[in-house]
């Protein structure tokens, strides 16, 4: 098992360009790759650059499968703040991804059967080749929230108070208390993890993560158990951090 590879970038755009290059390399290497995608501000520019590059280079994405990492429970799928709307706007529709190429939670019928359906569909595709993740301000991965213990598999999660203030849902006009998410076992089963860290309010979580100690109080720390993780971080957001 190798240690997590850290890469610092001068700014958010440089980080996004590097992450985009990693996605493009995977598509060229494995045109039928299964890629799990996080949503939110951190990966946004990566996805925009990826779409631009796919079109400019006329890459064939007809065999790819995209997997939605998580979703808020209680919002209509087409609401402005959903992960579904985010991915539809920035990946699925711009690339012309067919329904058969997209594995996504139906958060309006979120239950154990929906969790099992998603896990089964991923398995039928041969598992995740790449899981692209961001760091939550409270250290969560997907919607695996800090706690005394974690549910390993895909599950319905109760959101902690900080996550309930997430930018994606704070203007929804509804009190969102639950989400549906791949579990840490599902994430760690990915052949490769690309971990993007950028944005305000994450200094404490990232500093703790970099200590290399594994704790359920910081779900992101479980990435230290994975054999192939690359962490790309915005050095302008974390100027005091050093991997040395």
Give me the active site residues, please. 70, 138, 140, 145
Q: How far apart are CA 244 and CA 227, in angstroms?
A: 20
Evaluate whether 21 touches 110 at the Cβ level (below 8 Å): no
Q: How far apart are CA 53 and CA 24, in angstroms?
A: 8
Give the burial string for 157-170 (b: 16+ CB within 10 Å, else e): bebbeebbebebbe
Q: Where do runs of H (alpha helix) occur along 92-192?
A: 112-124, 184-188
Neighbours of 200 (CB within 10 A): 8
Name residues whose C-beta falls within 8 Å of residue 95's C-beta, 6 or more positions apart in sequence. 51, 54, 61
The residue with tokens 């359906």 is 117
Evaluate whether 80 touches 126 at the Cβ level (below 8 Å): no
Q: What phi and psi, each to the nearest 5 degrees, are found at residue 113?
A: -70, -35
Q: Which two tokens stand for residue 144?
A: 């695996």
Q: How far apart are CA 24 and CA 18, in angstroms?
A: 10
Evaluate whether 218 touches 208 at the Cβ level (below 8 Å): yes
């Amino acid at each position: 098992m190798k240690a997590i590879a850290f890469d610092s970038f001068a700014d958010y755009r440089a980080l996004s360009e590097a992450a985009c290059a990693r996605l493009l390399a995977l598509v060229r290497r494995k045109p039928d790759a299964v890629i799990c995608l996080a949503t939110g501000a951190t990966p946004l520019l990566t996805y925009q650059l990826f779409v631009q590059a796919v079109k400019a280079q006329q890459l064939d994405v007809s065999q790819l499968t995209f997997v939605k990492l998580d979703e808020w429970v209680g919002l209509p799928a087409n609401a402005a703040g959903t992960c579904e709307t985010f991915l539809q706007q920035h990946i699925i529709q711009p690339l012309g991804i067919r329904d058969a190429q997209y594995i996504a939670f139906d958060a309006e019928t979120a239950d154990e059967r929906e969790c099992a359906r998603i896990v089964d569909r991923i398995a039928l595709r041969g598992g995740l080749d790449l899981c692209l993740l961001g760091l939550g301000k409270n250290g969560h991965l997907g919607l695996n929230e800090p706690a005394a213990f974690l549910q390993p598999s895909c599950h319905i999660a109760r959101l902690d108070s900080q996550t309930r203030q997430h930018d994606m849902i704070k203007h929804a006009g509804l009190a969102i208390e639950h989400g549906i998410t791949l579990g840490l076992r599902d994430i760690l089963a990915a052949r490769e993890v690309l971990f993007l860290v950028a944005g305000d309010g994450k200094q404490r979580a990232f500093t703790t993560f970099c200590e290399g100690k594994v704790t359920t109080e910081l779900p992101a720390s479980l990435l230290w158990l994975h054999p192939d993780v690359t962490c790309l971080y915005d050095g302008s957001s974390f100027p005091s951090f050093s991997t040395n």
